[in-house]
Amino acid sequence: MERSERQAAPSFPGGSAEASRRDAMPGSGRAEGMTAEGRSLRRRILVRLRQGGPATPDRLATDLGASRNGVLAQLRALEAGELVAHSPVRHGVGRPRHLYDVTPDAQELFPANYDGLAISLIGAISRIGGQELVDRVVAERRASLAERARRHLDAEVGPEAPLPDRVRELAVFQDRLGYLAESVDAPDGELRLRQHNCAIHQVASSEPAVCRAELELFRELLGVEVERETHIASGDRCCTYRIGLEPDGPPVA
């Protein structure tokens, strides 16, 4: 489920292929340097290939009412980003034709309804087994995330690392899941984990057990008390967690 939770535009880490792919996306910052016609043509090529299947540059130019050179320029950019690929097809004597088609990576650019699927699944689980079964499913997901996060923390800072280091690495882990997370060290020594995006916002808004599970996850991983101060699902701009509090005392060192 974790992959489906990433609702923002696809995130491509470093590397030449990934950078080219990011720049090739119609809505990317680099693509914004193109003309409006160029951006539109790039989108139309992707949609045409997705709907109509493989095509030659000549066929695309005819279908889209664009110049062959313009189509070729956009195909080269999309191919550099690994969003389209071409293969030669021979048809008798002479040079082979090149057929272009979208790659599996291009799927990320087309509409998806992961939130709708997740919400409908939770509804079905509730109808079958009631809230108790929903809570068990959410707890199982939390256990799976805890295992992955613990491996990350142990590999990056070790199980005996100071609390601030563990909080920072937990923020890195959450950020990779799409939460736009950061750790915040206040001047008074208090620690906070802040998430500026909820990667599962619609699910969290419909099922409070998901947010409760996240709070329990952080307490389990950090081994200290964690208090939620702000909550996106409740209308706040971010989810803020105050870390390492004793019930009536200062932050835990």
pLDDT tens by residue, 165-202 = 999 999 999 999 999 999 999 877 789 999 999 999 99
Helix (H) or strand (E) holding 228, with range, is strand 226-230
**Residue 252 counted as domain residue:** no
**Residue 191 counted as domain residue:** yes
Please state the domain count of the chain: 2
Q: Do 157 and 190 reside in the same domain of the chain?
A: yes
Q: Do 237 and 122 reside in the same domain of the chain?
A: yes
CATH number at residue 104: 1.10.10.10
d(C-alpha 237, C-alpha 232), whole Å: 6
Q: Do 92 and 166 reside in the same domain of the chain?
A: no
- Boundary of a domain, candidates 81, 109, 137: 109
Q: Do 20 and 81 reside in the same domain of the chain?
A: yes
Q: Do 128 and 216 reside in the same domain of the chain?
A: yes
- Bridge partners (DSSP) of residue 243 are 191, 226
pTM of the full structure: 0.65
**Residue 118 counted as domain residue:** yes
Other C-beta atoms closer than 10 Å to the C-beta of 106 total: 21
- Boundary of a domain, candidates 109, 124, 141: 109
**Residue 225 counted as domain residue:** yes
- Boundary of a domain, candidates 86, 109, 132: 109
User: Rounded mean pLDDT of 42-47?
Assistant: 94
Q: Do 120 and 226 reside in the same domain of the chain?
A: yes
The domain in which residue 161 lies consists of 114-243
**Residue 9 counted as domain residue:** yes
Q: Do 61 and 96 reside in the same domain of the chain?
A: yes
Specify the length of the chain in residues: 253
Which alpha helices (DSSP H) does the chain contain, by range?
16-24, 36-52, 57-64, 68-80, 114-156, 163-176, 201-206, 208-222
* β-strands 239-243, 226-230 pairing: antiparallel
Q: Do 64 and 151 reside in the same domain of the chain?
A: no
CATH number at residue 164: 3.30.1380
- Taking only the tens place, the pLDDT of each residue in 210-229 is 999 999 999 999 999 999 99
Instruction: Give me 183's structure tokens.
Output: 């750790």
Q: Do 221 and 169 reside in the same domain of the chain?
A: yes
Instruction: Note the pLDDT of residue 160.
Output: 93
pLDDT band (50, 70, 90) for residue 85: very high
Statement: residue 32 has pLDDT above 80: no
**Residue 249 counted as domain residue:** no
**Residue 253 counted as domain residue:** no
The DSSP annotation for 53-119 comes to: --B-HHHHHHHHT--HHHHHHHHHHHHHTTSEEEEEE--SSSSPEEEEEE-GGGGGGS---HHHHHH
Q: Do 174 and 126 reside in the same domain of the chain?
A: yes
User: Rounded mean pLDDT of 104-114?
Assistant: 86
Q: Do 146 and 232 reside in the same domain of the chain?
A: yes
**Residue 250 counted as domain residue:** no
Q: Do 165 and 143 reside in the same domain of the chain?
A: yes
Instruction: Give me 163's structure tokens.
Output: 């609390």
